[in-house]
Amino acid sequence: MAGDRPGSDNESTGSLYAILAEGFLSRLSFGIIGFTLPLFAYRKLGLSLTETGFLFSINLIAEQLFKPVMGWVADRVGVKRVFTTAIAFRSLVALLFAFSATPFQVFAIKFLHGFSESLRDPTVSVLIAENARKKSLAQAFGWYTTAKMSAGSVGKALGGILLAVFAENYSIVFFVAFVLSILPLLVVARYVREPPKADHQIDAKVDGKESIEPTADVKLLPVVILGFLIAGTAQMIASLFPLLAMEYAGLNVSQTSAIYGISVFAIVISGPVFGWISDNVSRRFVMTVRGIANTISSVLFFFFPGFAGMTIGLTVDSMGKAAFRPAWGAIMAQLAGQDRQRRARTMSYLSLGEGLGETLGPLIGGFIWNTWGVGAMLAVRVVMALIGEVYALSISRELKS
């Protein structure tokens, strides 16, 4: 890792801080969009719950379609260059939302959003892994997760405030998100450095052509399946929470935005703390926290559908997500580091399962809610969380080895 090579500490630290700033600023912008878009789609455009769930899956579908190839592109043309391009596309997405007026336009913009994420996800993971110290990988991913999630919660709280201030003028709110999205582009272009090439050549040729596949000796499938189970369970409710709070629990916009603001405090603490535990105590324990949080939050959402129940439920859910990401990022970095020449490709394949879970989660959640009700949706989420918990425990020993 960059932090382990002589003479690279200052540059690596500066790049890592810039990446953390990007995570915060980008998620602040898209936190506003994340709060506003489901309400815009459901109330303004007249989409059903199932259609709204699909809207939050179309970008994930696009992301999974392009991600394996984009990992290969990043290894070829440069990780920072692809990362910067991804941020520019995300700014374009925010701007286009401000001018959208039909369901077709919104779905097309979300597809473009997915393409930008296929560029971003593998490259940001590589940049963190390359600039963090080897013995503090989980903590680095923990701080990045904290920056993203806290900014996302602040952004969603801000989205509710902006909707109230501008009398639900969605175009103005989306334009504010666009202005904020420009800031991370400037930070990355100025302060993040391109990671050095691999120190030694590894045979990456098959019949004279470079393969877009990750290294064959890295067993990715168990990790991919785990990512699918964990992400699918989490995303069943994450994108639909504003609707859950307002349509099921009967809260107003201000109360819902306040819940996101309150959850920030738990996120700020959870990421670094669980990152340290993963690095120094037990990664296996940290891997199980996500499933426990999914289960508890689902129970709270169903049985206590008021302001207090929704607040505690989202806080617990956010803590679980913040706990899982450091350990998950460290695992991906460890496997990708086995072949630095293909690091972005390996990252893209490892995150593919997680992406598929994020793709199907909103679809499944929206469909079950629309067909059988919110109780059935939350019950299925609990079952999926328990399955993921058992699977995480079953492969934790293999991951450690």
Which residue blocks in 102-220 are alpha helix, DSSP H?
103-131, 137-165, 170-191
Among 7-21, 28-42, 208-222, name the most confident range.
Answer: 28-42
Domain count, the chain: 1
Torsion from C-alpha of 60, 269, 397, 280, nearest 10 degrees:
140
* CA gap 316, 294 in Å, rounded: 8
* CA gap 52, 3 in Å, rounded: 43
* CA gap 47, 35 in Å, rounded: 16
Name which residue leads in pLDDT, 347 or 214: 347
The whole-number pLDDT of residue 29 equals 94
For the cut 60, the answer to whether the pLDDT of residue 88 exceeds it is yes
For the cut 90, the answer to whether the pLDDT of residue 233 exceeds it is no
Banded pLDDT at 4 (limits 50, 70, 90): very low
212 within some domain: no
Percent pLDDT > 70 in the chain is: 90
Tens digits of residue pLDDT in 153-191: 889 889 989 998 988 899 999 999 999 999 999 999 888
90 within some domain: yes
Q: What is the CATH number of the domain that holds 154?
A: 1.20.1250.20
The whole-number pLDDT of residue 205 equals 44
Residue 120 has which token pair?
Answer: 């971003």
Closest CA to 361 of 248, 241, 245, 229: 229
* CA gap 281, 276 in Å, rounded: 8
Banded pLDDT at 63 (limits 50, 70, 90): confident
Q: Which residues pair with 205 in a beta bridge?
A: 210
Total residues found in the chain within this entry: 401
200 within some domain: no
Tens digits of residue pLDDT in 253-275: 888 888 887 887 877 888 888 88
Banded pLDDT at 13 (limits 50, 70, 90): confident
The whole-number pLDDT of residue 204 equals 43
- pLDDT mean over 364-377: 89
Query: What per-residue string of b and e applies to 145-160 under the rule 16 or more CB within 10 Å gives b?
Result: bbbbbbbbbbbbbbbb
Q: Which residues form the domain of 254?
A: 2-193+218-400
198 within some domain: no
Contact 333, 204 (CB under 8 A): no
Dmax over Cα atoms in the chain, in whole Å? 62
Banded pLDDT at 364 (limits 50, 70, 90): confident
- pLDDT mean over 114-133: 87
Pairing of strands 205-206, 209-210: antiparallel
Banded pLDDT at 217 (limits 50, 70, 90): very low
209 within some domain: no
For the cut 80, the answer to whether the pLDDT of residue 200 exceeds it is no
Q: How far is CA 396 from CA 147, 219, 286, in A?
A: 27, 14, 10
Name which residue leads in pLDDT, 332 or 162: 162
121 within some domain: yes
Contact 310, 301 (CB under 8 A): yes
Residue identified by tokens 């993971």 is: 125
333 within some domain: yes
Name which residue leads in pLDDT, 178 or 357: 178
Report helix, strand and coil shares of the chain as percent, to nearest 5. 85, 0, 15
Name which residue leads in pLDDT, 114 or 7: 114
Banded pLDDT at 308 (limits 50, 70, 90): very high
Q: Which residues pair with 210 in a beta bridge?
A: 205
Helix pair 49-77, 9-39: axis angle to 10 deg: 160
For the cut 70, the answer to whether the pLDDT of residue 52 exceeds it is yes
Banded pLDDT at 134 (limits 50, 70, 90): confident
- pLDDT mean over 204-229: 61
The whole-number pLDDT of residue 11 equals 64
265 within some domain: yes
* CA gap 152, 146 in Å, rounded: 10
